[in-house]
Amino acid sequence: MAKAPTVEDVAAHAGVSRQTVSNVLNTPDIVRPATRERVLAAIDALGYRRHAAARRLRLRRSSTIGIRLHSYLGGVSGVVLDRFVHAITERASDRGMRMLVYAARTPQEELVRLGELWDGSEIDAAILTATERDDPRVRRLDEIGLPFISFGRPWGEDDIADPRHLWVDVDGAAGTRAATEHALSRGRDVAFLGWPSGSGTGDDRERGWLEAMSSASAQGDRLVAEEGVPFARASVDAALAAGAAPDAIVCASDSLAVGALLAVADAGLRLPVIGFDNTPTAEALGFSSVEQRPEDVATAILELLLGPTGEIVVPRSVEAGSAHALITPELVVR
């Protein structure tokens, strides 16, 4: 295996001292322009591992993308965002970019932090997560001129033909549609356990269930629970006690699926329960679940955010058909 070039190799190639190379990488303003350019050319020629630093010096950009690290709330869900952050960090590195992870407890704190990072030239762009309808972050980032893309659609009237910004999302309706079609092989009465109406993500997942049931001319109860195992268990307990007898239950999350499984066991029944997120809990308990594929989301986000040369284009124009990507999830049957 060929030996990776070192600072000494760069210094010898450029005909300067090791300290001069270090100065170019860390304090370029103190190095004469002609010498600095010679060292940068040597870095590029040798493929020195800090070539990304050389590019940042040339372009006066940070080659860094900011993303918020959400607080850990516990419970079954929350794994998807963790996987996404790991995946985007790995894939950004492969493209010569870096990720800067910052903490913020609220969207307001997030905007303050992003403003500070942007004003200090510490980031060139940002990735938003947990989007909502009329998201205040969108307007503010537009105002300060910070390029961004979201993991989560804008939830506008027409996100496809009239997008408000770049976005990538998982096609939740496709996931629950596949789950429901699989569940219908066990019987015609397939219930859906979801969150209260008004959640963009939740409503999208409910739509897939409705479409599959309509296509099959089947019927089933729409059950409601806040996110969490105890809430889901109570909701399904109440439905079964009231006489509901579903052949299967499709759920909007793995947390809801665990609660449904406990309620079904309480009633002494055996019927399929399908979750959404394919968390380690789904694998451990052995129930089917919809896999969001956050690694594919990470790849799509970088493809949209970065221009054809691999650099963030400022500003990015938002055009119908080229401003979004929908990732089709996969039903993992157990």
Residue showing tokens 């995946």: 87
Inter-helix orientation angle 51-59/18-26, to 10°: 50
Instruction: For residue 190, give the nearest of 260, 282, 258 by alpha carbon.
Output: 260
Cα–Cα distance measured from residue 37 to residue 125, given in angstroms and rounded to the nearest whole number: 27
Angle 37-43-47 (CA atoms, 0-180°, nearest 5)? Answer: 150
pTM score of the predicted model? 0.76
Instruction: For residue 274, give the nearest of 285, 266, 159, 265 by alpha carbon.
Output: 285
Cα–Cα distance measured from residue 110 to residue 128, given in angstroms and rounded to the nearest whole number: 10
Beta strands 125-129 and 273-276, pairing class: unpaired
Size of the chain in residues: 334
pLDDT confidence of residue 58: 47
Mean pLDDT per 10-residue section of the chain, whose length is 334 residues: 74 91 77 91 80 49 84 61 90 88 89 88 89 85 88 74 80 98 96 94 96 96 96 98 97 97 97 96 96 94 79 58 84 96
- Helices marked H in 98-226: 107-119, 136-144, 172-183, 200-215
pLDDT confidence of residue 332: 97
* Contact in structure between 314 and 159 (CB atoms under 8 Å): no
pLDDT confidence of residue 1: 46
Radius of gyration of the chain (CA): 25
Distances (CA, A) of 331 to 175, 177, 264, 290: 7, 10, 22, 4
Strand partners, 327: 170
pLDDT confidence of residue 29: 75
Which residues, in sequence order, are CB contacts of 286 under 8 Å at separation 6+? Answer: 334
pLDDT confidence of residue 139: 86
pLDDT confidence of residue 6: 79
Contacts from 130-138 at CB under 8 Å and sequence distance 24+? 130/70, 131/155, 131/167, 131/200, 132/200, 133/200, 135/107, 136/107, 136/111, 137/107, 137/110, 137/111, 138/164, 138/165
pLDDT confidence of residue 82: 85
